[in-house]
Amino acid sequence: MRDEPTSGHDFAMWSPLDSDGWYAARTATTALRDVLVRAGLEKDFPYLRADLNAFGHGLVELGRVSPDTAERLAELLRLALACGLGADRDVSEAAQNTTDEHRGRT
What is the structure's pLDDT at 54? 84
As beta bridge partners, residue 85 has none
Shared domain for 54 and 79, answered yes or no, is no
Residue 7 has pLDDT above 80, yes or no: no
Shared domain for 34 and 73, answered yes or no, is no
What is the structure's pLDDT at 105? 46
72-96 pLDDT tens trace = 999 999 998 998 875 555 555 655 5
Shared domain for 5 and 29, answered yes or no, is yes
Shared domain for 106 and 83, answered yes or no, is yes
What is the structure's pLDDT at 6? 56
Contact 92, 76 (CB under 8 A): no
Shared domain for 3 and 36, answered yes or no, is yes
Maximal CA-CA distance, the chain: 71
Shared domain for 4 and 32, answered yes or no, is yes
Shared domain for 51 and 95, answered yes or no, is no
What is the structure's pLDDT at 84? 85
Domain that holds residue 71: 66-106
3-state secondary structure of 49: strand
Higher-confidence residue: 100 or 44? 44
Share of the chain above pLDDT 90, in %: 53
Shared domain for 70 and 58, answered yes or no, is no
Higher-confidence residue: 100 or 82? 82
Shared domain for 54 and 80, answered yes or no, is no
Task: Look at the chain and report how many structural domains it folds into.
Answer: 2
CA angle 46, 47, 51 (to 5 degrees): 145
